[in-house]
Amino acid sequence: MNTSGTRRFERAPHVPGLQELKAVRPREGAADLRDVLRTGPFEAALDSAVRASGLSLERIQHRLAERGVEISVTTLSYWRRGRSRPERPQSRRAVRLLEELLGVPTDGLVSLLGPRRPRGRWVHRDDEVVETEHLWREFVSLPELLAELGSTDDGLLRVAAHDSYELDARGAGARLTTRLTLKATRDGVDRCVVILRGEDPDGALPEFADVRNARLGRLRSDPSVPLVVAELFLDRTLSGGGTTLIEYTLRFPDEGRRAEECGRGFHAPALLYTLEVAFHPDAVPVRCRRCSSAAVTGEPLSAEPVWISAAGRVHAVFENPGPGFRALRWEWH
């Protein structure tokens, strides 16, 4: 069980070249832009520059890529909202190009960044984010499922996550209990969006058996994968920086196929991920590994043996997990 209608999308319309972009006259907000370039902060200046240019983040990303700088739309959005700041050399180079693309005077944005901020265990790694669709890139129906819920970004940072997975006597998933520590990255956050994948495309989808500190909202699914996108409404609306804890339990259908892994995808850095797996005494695998990969279905970038106890239990602790997929994977007889 991995925690975290197919349609093809047409190519975007013609994007003007660099000279064309430079020729675009600022729209409404130009006066605000002049003021905020003098006073900051960086995110306010970037937001004003984007609005004044009339360009979408998708167009801006495309032009940056043409100049050799790969920055995701999600990262640009985070910079614009103040959720993260450009820190790495390539990110700083992107800001230089943004000044050119958006018609901002040289150093107009860069000067608002100041010195690089310290990093450490409790410091959020700013520009290390990936789009949710990229993390789940082999699931072509996911963008449409998320679009039906209105957004790919619920405004919540997964500070910590704890998954406890139980298997039955056949080696199939029985229950998964998840506890999430969440922090709002903006005002007005009232829901959490979770992505779930079952093990058996021919079987029924997992169901929510219990939800605490939240209530179940809309569900969208693609049974052929199987994939579920769920909306959990928080007990209260959070302001930026506010925190909450939620817990939910999933119950898996009887007669499911044997599970071979359990894990969670992170599209932005977290502080801690703890994963526990309890095997039934009649179905204990021969070996288990803790794995990290760039995407949910990607080949492991690292894999380390993990001890299975005499009681058939195994766990893994991932400190400061960056974007990607963290999991336990096991082999049966």
- The pLDDT value recorded for residue 5 is 36
137 vs 27, more confident: 137
What is the enclosing helix (H) or strand (E) of 287? Answer: strand 287-293
Which amino acid, 146? L
The predicted model gives 134-159 an average pLDDT of: 82
Which of 16-20, 103-107, 179-183, 321-325 has the least mean pLDDT?
16-20
Q: Which of 17, 27, 69, 73 is nearest to 48 (CA)?
A: 27
Q: Where are the domains of the chain?
A: 18-112, 137-331
Rounded to the nearest 5°, which phi and psi values hold at 117?
-85, 155
Radius of gyration, alpha carbons of the chain:
22
Considering 9-13, 83-87, 322-326, the range whose residues carry the highest mean pLDDT is 322-326
Give the pLDDT confidence score for residue 276 in this predicted structure. Answer: 98
pLDDT of residue 41: 86
CB 251 within 8 A of CB 207: yes
* Angle, CA of 243, 244 and 247, to the nearest 5°: 150
Q: Do 165 and 240 touch, CB atoms closer than 8 A? A: no
What is the per-residue pLDDT for 205? 85
Q: Do 161 and 198 meet the contact criterion of CB atoms below 8 Å apart?
A: no
Maximum alpha-carbon separation in the chain: 71
Q: Give the range among 114-128, 167-181, 273-287 with minimum mean pLDDT.
A: 114-128
* End-to-end Cα, the chain, rounded Å: 20
User: In the sheet that 243-251 helps form, which strands lie side by side, from edge to edge?
Assistant: 207-212, 243-251, 173-184, 156-167, 272-278, 313-319
Proportion of the chain above pLDDT 90, given as a percent: 39
pLDDT of residue 115: 54
C-alpha distances (whole Å) from 142 to each of 138, 149, 221, 293 are: 9, 11, 9, 19
| Alpha carbon distance 159, 51 (integer Å) | 31
Q: What is the pLDDT of residue 193?
A: 93
Is 243's pLDDT higher than 50? yes
Question: CA separation (Å) from 264 to 169, 176, 239, 268, 295?
Answer: 24, 12, 26, 12, 10
Q: Report the range of poorest mean pLDDT among 113-117, 166-170, 301-305.
A: 113-117
Q: Which of 112-126, 172-186, 273-287 has the lowest mean pLDDT?
A: 112-126
CATH topology of domain 137-331: Immunoglobulin-like (2.60.40)
pLDDT tens, residue by residue, 137-146: 778 888 888 8
**How confident is the model over 212-233, as a mean pLDDT?**
92
Q: What is the pLDDT of residues 171-220, one digit of tens each?
A: 999 999 999 999 998 889 999 999 998 777 777 888 999 999 999 999 99
> Does 127 score more than 80 pLDDT?
no
Check whether 17 has a pLDDT greater than 50: no
Instruction: Using alpha carbons, list the distances in angstroms from residue 329 to 290, 306, 316.
Output: 6, 10, 11
Q: Which two tokens stand for residue 308?
A: 């299975």
Above 60 in pLDDT, residue 30? no
Q: What is the pLDDT of residue 3?
A: 56
